[in-house]
Amino acid sequence: ELKVEQNPLFLSMQEGKNYTIYCNYSTTSDRLYWYRQDPGKSLESLFVLLSNGAVKQEGRLMASLDTKARLSTLHITAAVHDLSATYFCAVALASGTYKYIFGTGTRLKVLA
């Protein structure tokens, strides 16, 4: 059974600092997604990573994918308070039909 694990589960960091969220998954997949969820809100798509070595950046967030290690990272550069949210990674399993598995989520709090 496919498992998607994120760490850390909780992250409290100071504004201006850098940090990385890790997403490990247990079986082969060629699509890795990152989402952001604010409290009481729906999910917002951040990145879709489609191939080994893929790197995407938007503002202070950068995501990368290593399919051989089955690992994706979400790097936060010079954090600001507005980045406080829960971040989920998700993996797609495609074998004729599709199935999506989400990670446990990382709750990020950026302190001023």
Partner 1 sequence: ETGVTQSPTHLIKTRGQQVTLRCSSQSGHNTVSWYQQALGQGPQFIFQYYREEENGRGNFPPRFSGLQFPNYSSELNVNALELDDSALYLCASSLGQGETQYFGPGTRLLVL
Q: How far is the CB of 47 from partner 1 (least distance, A)?
A: 9
Does 3 sit near partner 1 (CB under 8 A)? no
Does 105 sit near partner 1 (CB under 8 A)? yes
Does 39 sit near partner 1 (CB under 8 A)? no
Residue pair 90/31 in contact by the 8 Å Cβ criterion: no
Number of residues that bind partner 1 (CB under 8 A): 23
Residue 32, beta-bridge partner list: 49, 91
> How many Å apart are CA 22 and CA 72, to the nearest integer?
6
CB nearer to partner 1: give 103 or 108: 103
Tally of helices (H runs) and strands (E runs) in the chain: 0, 11
Q: How far is the CB of 99 from partner 1 (least distance, A)?
A: 5
* Of positions 7, 75, 84, 102, contacts partner 1 by CB under 8 A: 102
Residue pair 9/104 in contact by the 8 Å Cβ criterion: yes
